[in-house]
Amino acid sequence: MNVQSAGKMLVLFGGIMAVTGLVLMFFEKIPFLGKLPGDITIKRDNVEILFPLTTSIVLSALISLAFWAISQWRGK
């Protein structure tokens, strides 16, 4: 791997991290995330724990579908 391709990879990872950060900042404003049937929420005194199982499965399926579509589009 040469320096130029390493630089491109770092820029790509930086962009992905920036987009992920923006999504996390506005996570509460997305109405269905973490509130699907099958998501586990534990509320005690002043502690709230969220296990978004169904949300994780749905997001994983959507991301997998997107990567599959991209690979089909690229012809690989």
Domain locations along the chain: 1-30, 31-76
**pLDDT band at residue 23, thresholds of 50, 70 and 90?**
confident
Q: Is the pLDDT of residue 11 over 80?
A: yes
Whether the Cβ atoms of residue 24 and residue 40 lie closer than 8 Å to each other: no
Whether the Cβ atoms of residue 33 and residue 52 lie closer than 8 Å to each other: yes
**pLDDT band at residue 6, thresholds of 50, 70 and 90?**
confident
Average pLDDT over residues 12-21: 86
